[in-house]
Amino acid sequence: MLLRTSLTSPFGRKARMGAAHLGLAADVQPVNANEPGSTLADDNPLGKMPVLILDDGRRVYDSRVILEYFDMAAGGGRILPREPDARIAALTLQALGDGILDAGVLIVYEGRFRPPALRHEPWIEQQRAKLTRGLAALARNPPDARAVTVGTISLACALGYIDWRKQTDWRKDYPALVDWLAGFRAATNAFDATQPPPE
């Protein structure tokens, strides 16, 4: 299987972390989503990464669906619980983690792609407010750090991305999440194995 992504994409990291935790990393070959002569839109009409290209040529996207595919490939019930209440809790946590990531990515893109004269600070602060509300909600009731699910993988990727891109000082503001991430790192070495490269 080929995983079209970049090593700096937090959503690509979700897929790589899931594969690593499930013992599928040897079966998944990451390839540069921006390789010369090809566009990401050839594999995903939305032009978004990651995209998993199966051996039979099918394309699977986005990170949420890729994680579900990996869970099934690993026998099921590993990172996506079978029990209905636990499954809904994991999917809801994944939605919250992805929402935090979406807001964080939009803040970065505003600074990277929009000329300074066109940047809209109220819009940036609206994204930052989404991010901080999500973190505050999680800090009030952190999930079990030992349970590696689609939800905790998403949260770990969100915290790792904010650590890297510095959209907010979450370590100072949410010490409960600092403890949570330490526990998650102890539960799976996939977090450290999928760190983005230094820039």
Q: Are residues 66 and 92 in the same domain?
A: no
Q: Which of 1-5, 38-42, 54-58 has the lowest mean pLDDT?
A: 38-42
152 located within any domain: yes
Query: What does the pLDDT average to over 46-55?
Result: 96
Q: Are residues 89 and 177 in the same domain?
A: yes
153-188 pLDDT per residue, tens? 999 999 999 999 999 999 999 999 999 999 999 999
**pLDDT value of position 110:** 93
**pLDDT value of position 139:** 98
Query: What does the pLDDT average to over 17-32?
Result: 96
Going by pLDDT thresholds of 50, 70 and 90, the confidence category of residue 192 is very high
CATH number of 167's domain = 1.20.1050.10
Provide the β-strand partners of residue 60.
52
Residue 103 contacts residue 131 (beta carbons within 8 Å): yes
Q: Are residues 45 and 140 in the same domain?
A: no
**pLDDT value of position 34:** 77
Sign of CA pseudo-dihedral 98, 134, 88, 14: positive
196 located within any domain: no
CA distances from 155 to 110, 131, 135, 136, 176 (A): 22, 12, 9, 13, 13
Picking from 79, 56, 73, 60, the residue whose alpha carbon sits closest to that of residue 5 is 60
Q: Are residues 94 and 62 in the same domain?
A: no
63-100 pLDDT per residue, tens? 999 999 999 999 999 999 999 999 999 999 999 999 99
Q: Are residues 131 and 101 in the same domain?
A: yes
**pLDDT value of position 92:** 98
94-143 pLDDT per residue, tens? 999 999 999 999 999 999 999 999 999 999 999 999 999 999 999 999 99
Range of the domain at 66: 2-73
Last residue of a domain, one of 44, 73, 102: 73
Residue 115 contacts residue 80 (beta carbons within 8 Å): no
The DSSP element (H or E) to which 171 belongs, if any, is helix 170-173
pTM equals 0.96
Would you say residue 38 has pLDDT above 90?
Answer: no
- Integer Cα distance of 158 and 97 in angstroms: 6
Q: Are residues 39 and 101 in the same domain?
A: no
**pLDDT value of position 35:** 76
Total number of domains in the chain: 2
Residue 27 is classified by DSSP as: G
**pLDDT value of position 45:** 95
